[in-house]
Structure 1
Amino acid sequence: MLRPALRAVKPLRASAVAPRARTFTSTRHVRNEGPSLNSLDTFSDEEQMLRESVQRFATDIVGPKVREMDEKEQMDPTVVKGLFEQGLMGIETSAEHGGAESSFTSAIIAIEELAKVDPSVSVMCDVHNTLVNTIFRKYATKEQQDKWLPQLSENKLGSFCLSESASGSDAFALQTRAKKDGDHWIINGSKMWITNSYEAEIFLIFANIDPSKGYKGITCFVATKDMGIQIAKKEQKLGIRASSTCTLNFDDLKVPAANVIGGEGLGYKLAIEILNEGRIGIAAQMLGLAQGAFNAAVPYTYSRSQFGQPVGTFQGMAFQIAQAAIDIETARLLTYNAARRKEEGKSFTKEAAMAKYWSSVIAQRVSGQAIEWTGGVGFTRETGIEKFWRDSKIGAIYEGTSNIQLQTIAKFIQKEYS
């Protein structure tokens, strides 16, 4: 049974929005009862309202700032503030903790819609929701949730700190160490390629408290920037340049013992489970990116004429556009199938890997074609189409490379058929 809506949908204004305002209802998605089955592109009224709300925010607030943020390689603070004010940084978080108390699919919808305009903003929202917030919601104690989730819902950006220079695909080869000192832990080491780290104020840090136990010594700690986290280097990247990616150093970082999340030695379990969910978020980001590039390029092909007809009507071009539309739709179905399976409590690791892999492939393919469809205009930075192509490459790398996804899928197939 649907709960009464906790947030009313209001028209988006370009001007500042009052804190805690939400632009979508918080009612959870509930499947129709009875024998009828829904298609994968069937969404509840609440989810559709969310999609429309995020579309307006992305178009009206994010859109005018995309090129400037990319050129400066910096997220505009008003965009970050807007994400919080629109309720997009606590989508699954309970109303008790200042969130929208909505569904996982709602988070995927928001990530997809933001990526149609700017994948950099999309990944900020993605990591904050599907990784950081989810760890607190699933593994933190009631006291930890009461302390941290309201901050993460209202105004403080979160960062997920796992990767290191020697620990990428092999996430559990990390060298960051934590040593108990009375009622505190002392953390030493460094992290690399950490998303959101320049703007973040709350960090989930994975460190090993007992290297003799291997990955079973890995533990998750929550720390704040003012505890002494050092932002050592901000990477200059090919794409998603407005999204911060930094190296972090921990030099005798003192963290209260109460800030252990999920229990000592259980960090590996948290990371594995959370990254499976996070891969659906990356799939949604790549899906939105592909659709954004398609939306930007296809109209041009019907307005640009050569040899007496629009270039998009030539068979060679028309077939490419048709194939791209099919590819995007397959990525969409894989992504939302994985999201729905996760919501329904079914296994979704293989489906998440498939969605993440294929959406990354399609994002690169379609965004590259979009440049070709628009010719010289698409090759310039003025249209923003080339930015989609630059942004697409990261999809094959972070939260598990494409080869890691294929390896995961292959293991499931081997288990099923051998």
Structure 2
Amino acid sequence: MTVDRILPTEEAHDLLELATELADRELAPKAVEFEQRAEFPRELLRTLGRAGLLGLPYPEEYGGAAQPYEVYLQVLEILASRWLAVAEAVSVHTLSCHPVATFGDDAQRKLLPDMIGGELLGAYCLSEPQGGSDAAALTTKAVRDGDAYVVTGTKAWITHAQVADFYNVFCRTGGPGARGISCLLLDRATPGLHPQAAERTMGLRSSPVAQLAFDDARVPADRLIGGEGAGFTIAMSALDSGRLGIAACAVGLAQAALDYAVGYARERRQFGRAVIDFQGLGFTLADLATQISAARALTLTAARLRDAGRPYSIEAAKAKLFATDMAMRVTTDAVQVLGGAGYVADHPVERYMREAKVLQIVEGTNQIQRLVISRALAKD
């Protein structure tokens, strides 16, 4: 199904055409094999970086494209509609560039061209085995020792843990609570940094997720981003943007599921008719299409607030909540539309359904999004 888009500039239109061309040529043909092998498509990320699609929201002076978030999110949606793992990798990498781009000093920002260009792949290390949603309670510790910090602890559920070239590590340099958290930028070669075995996940099998162990990892003090105690502010700032990225991924995945279900329902015949002509099924597809359009509109509305420099945190939480719940419903119903065929791996909808689940969890569970929204309502 062709999505009717209103874009702010001709350049944005060209970028979406480029994203569509690359997604059709490079992503869609490879998705099934890579997912079956649980293989991370590192070269595809380099290809996207060299095409300028990894730095869309970042300034041109650092190698970015200086595009509005509204445009970046629509690129993510296109990528996700062909292969969610790649779109999620782009979202996580873009999130991982945010601390240096927004809070880094001049020396740290010299790394941005290689980050944004895709030569260096990033990981965002906030969650821990005993603390995901309660980020302010993290226990990974960094102790100052001369001209370095010595890091000990464990991070969990880290996308790109085994394949990243740089890591934003949120750790405790001060007392308890949010004010004691700082952010350090670690290289892959940091002594004492040990990626663990990849988790065996339900979906997104070509996107490696693992724990990171820090055994007296020694990090130069000039890799501290934003000063001691700035870590929680950096983390929450990045997550607001990251939630929009996941919302866009959810819209793309849901659109792919709907498109496949509609195509199947047009071809599948029962009682002498295409099954899409039966009201019960046709109305289901109509509801799914409406939900996708609503999620897309909500996501882009939050993006436009961000682009305008206005508060958008609550709208990002709403978009992430609605879009990912929607994707779970759409992919589940797409399996139902196909009936028994939807339950076998010959058709992609069973993979879409498995993949949709994680979107309700990452970048803050949907329970956390409801908490964020309800607290804002209480304050108002």
Q: Deviations over 1:294-343 (max 9, x none)?
A: 11221110111111110001000110011101100110011000100011
1:173 maps to which of 116, 121, 137: 137
What runs of 5+ residues in structure 1 fail to find an aligned partner?
A: 1-38
Residue 109 of structure 2 corresponds to 145
Residue 72 of structure 2 corresponds to 107
Residue 164 of structure 2 corresponds to 200
What CA distance in whole angstroms lies between the structure 2 residues aligned with 1:235 and 1:107?
29
2:184 corresponds to 1:221: yes
The answer to whether the 8 A contact 1:40-1:337 is kept is no
1:88 maps to which of 43, 50, 53: 53
The answer to whether the 8 A contact 1:94-1:100 is kept is yes
The answer to whether the 8 A contact 1:218-1:266 is kept is yes
The answer to whether the 8 A contact 1:116-1:291 is kept is yes
The answer to whether the 8 A contact 1:294-1:367 is kept is yes
Q: Deviations over 1:338-383 (max 9, x none)?
A: 1000111111111111100010111011111111112222222122
1:248 maps to which of 212, 217, 239: 212
Residue 389 of structure 1 corresponds to 353
The answer to whether the 8 A contact 1:167-1:174 is kept is yes
Displacement of 1:40: 8.7
Displacement of 1:193: 0.1
2:36 corresponds to 1:71: yes
Q: Which amino acid in structure 1 is aligned with residue 318 of structure 2? A: M
Q: Deviations over 1:383-402 (max 9, x none)?
A: 21211100000111111111
What CA distance in whole angstroms lies between the structure 2 residues aligned with 1:373 and 1:213?
51
What CA distance in whole angstroms lies between the structure 2 residues aligned with 1:309 and 1:45?
43
1:314 maps to which of 271, 278, 284: 278
Matches within 5 A, 1:288-299: 288-299=252-263
The answer to whether the 8 A contact 2:7-2:71 is kept is no
Give the match's secondary structure for 1:64: coil
2:316 maps to which of 352, 355, 362: 352
Q: Which amino acid in structure 1 is aligned with residue 154 of structure 2? A: S
Residue 25 of structure 1 corresponds to none
Q: Deviations over 1:98-148 (max 9, x none)?
A: 22232222221221111101111111000111x1122211100112101x1
Matched length: 375
2:91 maps to which of 111, 123, 126: 126
What CA distance in whole angstroms lies between the structure 2 residues aligned with 1:67 and 1:224?
31
2:249 maps to which of 279, 285, 289: 285
What runs of 5+ residues in structure 2 fail to find an aligned partner?
A: none
Point out 4+ residue stretches in structure 1 off by more than 6 angstroms.
none
Q: TM-score, normalised by structure 2?
A: 0.96
Displacement of 1:95: 2.7
What CA distance in whole angstroms lies between the structure 2 residues aligned with 1:51 and 1:297?
24
Q: Deviations over 1:177-229 (max 9, x none)?
A: 0011111111111100001222210110011012x343211100001111132
Q: Deviations over 1:270-305 (max 9, x none)?
A: 111111111111111111110111112211101111
Residue 27 of structure 1 corresponds to none
Residue 231 of structure 2 corresponds to 267
Give the match's secondary structure for 1:200: coil
The answer to whether the 8 A contact 1:338-1:355 is kept is yes
What CA distance in whole angstroms lies between the structure 2 residues aligned with 1:325 and 1:388?
16
The answer to whether the 8 A contact 2:7-2:13 is kept is no
1:336 maps to which of 292, 300, 312: 300
What CA distance in whole angstroms lies between the structure 2 residues aligned with 1:306 and 1:151?
55
Give the match's secondary structure for 2:58: coil
Q: Percent same amino acid at aligned positions?
A: 34
The answer to which of 224-233 and 328-337 deviates more is 224-233
Q: Which amino acid in structure 1 is aligned with residue 103 of structure 2? A: Y
Matches within 5 A, 1:20-31: none
What CA distance in whole angstroms lies between the structure 2 residues aligned with 1:40 and 1:115?
16
The answer to whether the 8 A contact 1:205-1:222 is kept is yes
Cα distance, 1:391–1:199 mapped onto 2, change above 3 Å: same
Q: Which amino acid in structure 2 is aligned with residue 93 of structure 1? A: Y
Give the match's secondary structure for 1:226: coil
Residue 136 of structure 1 corresponds to 100
What CA distance in whole angstroms lies between the structure 2 residues aligned with 1:187 and 1:399?
24
Give the match's secondary structure for 1:227: coil
What CA distance in whole angstroms lies between the structure 1 residues aligned with 2:125 and 2:42?
22
Q: TM-score, normalised by structure 1?
A: 0.87
Q: Deviations over 1:27-47 (max 9, x none)?
A: xxxxxxxxxxxx994443222
